[in-house]
Structure 1
Amino acid sequence: MPHRSELYEDVPPVCWPIVYSPDYNITFMGLEKLHPFDAGKWGKVINFLKEEKLIGDDLIVQAREATDEDLLVVHTRRYLNKLKAGKLAVDRGWAINVGGGFHHCSSDKGGGFCAYADITLAIKFLFERVPGVSKATIIDLDAHQGNGHERDFMDDQKVYIMDVYNRYIYPGDGFAKRAIKRKVELEWGTEDTEYLQKVHTHVEGALNELKPDIIVYNAGTDILDGDPLGGLAISPQGIVKRDEVVFKAARSRRIPILMVTSGGYQKRTARIIADSILNLHNLGLIDKELVASEAENPKVEKMIRDTVTDLTNLSL
């Protein structure tokens, strides 16, 4: 029986399935400027998309507040009692949450700037709310290992995890690695050609090995050359191409995809994320709606569109 929640509201069809709240942007009397993370990254992404006339304020899905009852789907009461407020969002069909991707957080433990297990929560909501959605694939292309969702789905055969990361950096969670079905460990300074070849090969391999009902794509931009925490050397064009590869693979198989933007610790990452979204739109890989008639299973696709629309927003 699904739990009670006020997150499940209808979203007007004119809205893009892009979730955002100004509260995603972190400020603390200017002290945020001393941290390598661009605390205003998400707002900048939205502003770039507005400048390009792709979206307007009335076409964005506004993230809503989640209650403890919502969070207890994943987190323990004991863990929630330790936390202060933050923001995250989960969405439908093809969807982009410009503030999500907290992949170091598991159901009972935070880590690495991640306080809420939004990837785990998105998948559990889908399994709970959408009949016929019983398999999920996580494609984690942040520079860091996604140990949070890996720990949460350690013994869950319904969730397939692919993770591509710098083998030498945080978190180095050997236990969590046991949950990865397709593990790609990169060397320091990996560049575009090698990286894109591996992403293409392994995304295709993962989706051929198991066709899921939903893909959760963790699209960190901390792979960018010069990122102080990622240690890789991918160009802006390489990041745009990477996202294109993943969305093409999903679209060619008619699998709904939820993209979260995760890590990225340089000022220029906001522009790159916006450029990638514009590229996906220009290529016809995203639009305001995911057309049910394109789906291999229209009934399941309709349920995803109708029901997952109701969990368009999850914010804290």
Structure 2
Amino acid sequence: MKVIYEPRFNYQLGVLKYLHPFDGEKFAKVVSELDGLNIEIIHPNGPISTKVINEYLNELMRKLVLSKTLVLRALEVPKIPFVGFDFLDKKILTPMRLAVAGTLLGAEKALESGGIMWNLSGGFHHASNLNMEGFCIYNDIGISYQQLRKSGHLSETDKVLIIDVDAHHGNGNAYSFKDNENVHLLDVYNEDIYPTSQFTRNRVNFPVPLKSGVEGCEYLEKLTQALELITGHYALAFVIAGTDVLAVDKLGGFKLNVEDVAKREKIILSHLKTLEIPTVVTGGGGYSKQSASAIAAAIKACSTL
């Protein structure tokens, strides 16, 4: 397994970082906790190009993503008069485009090696080609899938699996692949919280809706049962490993601890390895100070797979 990281994944926002609970500098903290371990870290060459992104977005979204007001709304922060679009582009959108490049790089390397790649960022599962919301501007999995098809890494008939264990339902991915029968989704989410679209929830092939307050034992049991339903051949799997399932996270509503998160990722990746499915893990959400430690613990637990 290799880890994908670029220092510019981190959101260097100064005092503005207090406007949103997301720990924008957690990626550097993860790498620091992995220091000294025999884990290879690779880097994307640069941000995904706006040309590639525009190929994915519909015509209206190409214009909307250039609006400071709408981007701030999607980032769930108040309108800030003295902050211009150039600042947002440099401090937030460029790190996100780097994350998209990381997911695409991970997918390419996973397909080439047949192994596991772990992108510390990415997992922007609320975005689609028609919308941006929930701190997600670009849908990195949708863009990566498009580019993998274009480059020939994936064929039209190749089956792809998305396993989403972020606490929030992945409505952006569900919408993006609503008409693609070759992309299957397994989604473990808190059914009591955002997003509540029944349309996108119904698109999930293997839904695992859970109530607020679920603890680690029940969560892992339900996840394992869902994974056992995965049969057949998949050319590639994406995993959205959000840490907002932690009990200390104020947005997820679940009660897992760091050890549960590490077990979760090991259960998923062990199962995918048994099925010989190349896999790229993406970061997803995580809004607590334990998020970095949970990611690092999960990587350590899975490093020998």
Alpha-carbon distance in structure 2 between the residues aligned to 1:74 and 1:34: 29
TM-score, with structure 2 as normaliser = 0.82
Q: Does the CA-based 8 Å contact 2:258-2:293 persist in structure 1?
A: no
State whether residues 110 and 116 of structure 1, in contact with CA within 8 Å, keep that contact through their aligned partners in structure 2: yes
Q: 1:117 aligns with which of 139, 151, 161?
A: 139
Structure-2 residue corresponding to 1:299: none
Match for residue 296 of structure 2?
274
Deviations 1:86-112 (A, max 9, x none): 322211311111011000001110010
Please report how far the alpha carbon of residue 226 of structure 1 lies from its aligned counterpart in structure 2 after TM superposition: 2.0
SS of structure 1 residue aligned to 2:118 = strand
How far apart in 2 are the matches of 1:61 and 1:276? 20
- Within 5 A, what are the aligned runs for 1:51-62? 52-55=36-39, 59-62=41-44
Aligned AA (1:277) = I
Query: Residue 201 of structure 1: which of 199, 207, 225 is its match?
Result: 225
Structure having the larger proportion of residues in helix? 2
Q: In 2, are the aligned partners of 1:154 and 1:178 still within 8 Å (CA)?
A: no
Give 1:262's match in structure 2, choosing from 259, 278, 284: 284
* Aligned equivalents of 1:257, 1:105: Cα separation in 2: 21
Matches within 5 A, 1:10-159: 17-50=2-35, 52-55=36-39, 59-83=41-65, 84=89, 85-86=93-94, 87=96, 88=99, 89-90=102-103, 91=106, 92-93=109-110, 94-129=116-151, 130-131=153-154, 134-159=158-183
SS at match of 2:141: helix
Percentage of pairs with the same residue: 31
**Residues 70 and 17 (structure 1), Cα distance of their counterparts in 2 relative to 1, 3 Å cut:** farther
Where does residue 189 of structure 1 map in the other structure? 213
Greater length-normalized contact order (CA 8 Å, ≥ 6 residues apart): 1
Give the structure-1-normalised TM-score: 0.79
Structure 1 distance, partners of 2:262, 2:15, is 31
Residues 247 and 254 in structure 2, CA contact (< 8 A), matched pair in contact too: yes
3-state SS of 1:275 partner: helix
Give the Cα–Cα distance (whole angstroms) in 2 for the partners of residues 162 and 139 of structure 1: 5
Between the aligned partners of 2:193 and 2:201, the Cα distance in structure 1 is 14
Change in Cα spacing, 1:63 to 1:174, as seen in structure 2 (3 Å) is: farther
Matching of residue 223 in structure 1 with residue 248 in structure 2:
no
Cα gap change, 1:185 to 1:63, in 2 (>3 Å)? farther
Query: In 1, are the aligned partners of 2:259 and 2:297 still within 8 Å (CA)?
Result: no
1:174 deviation in Å? 1.3
- Number of equivalences: 263
Q: Which runs of 5+ in 2 are unaligned?
A: 66-88, 111-115
- Considering only aligned residues, what root-mean-square deviation do their CA atoms show, in Å? 1.7
Could you tell me how far 1:240 is from its partner in structure 2? 0.4
Change (3 A) 1:17 1:81: farther
Between the aligned partners of 2:210 and 2:33, the Cα distance in structure 1 is: 31
* 1:21–1:63 Cα contact (<8 Å) kept: no
CA distance, structure 2, for counterparts of residue 34 and residue 107 of structure 1: 26
Unaligned runs of 5+ in 1: 1-15, 286-316
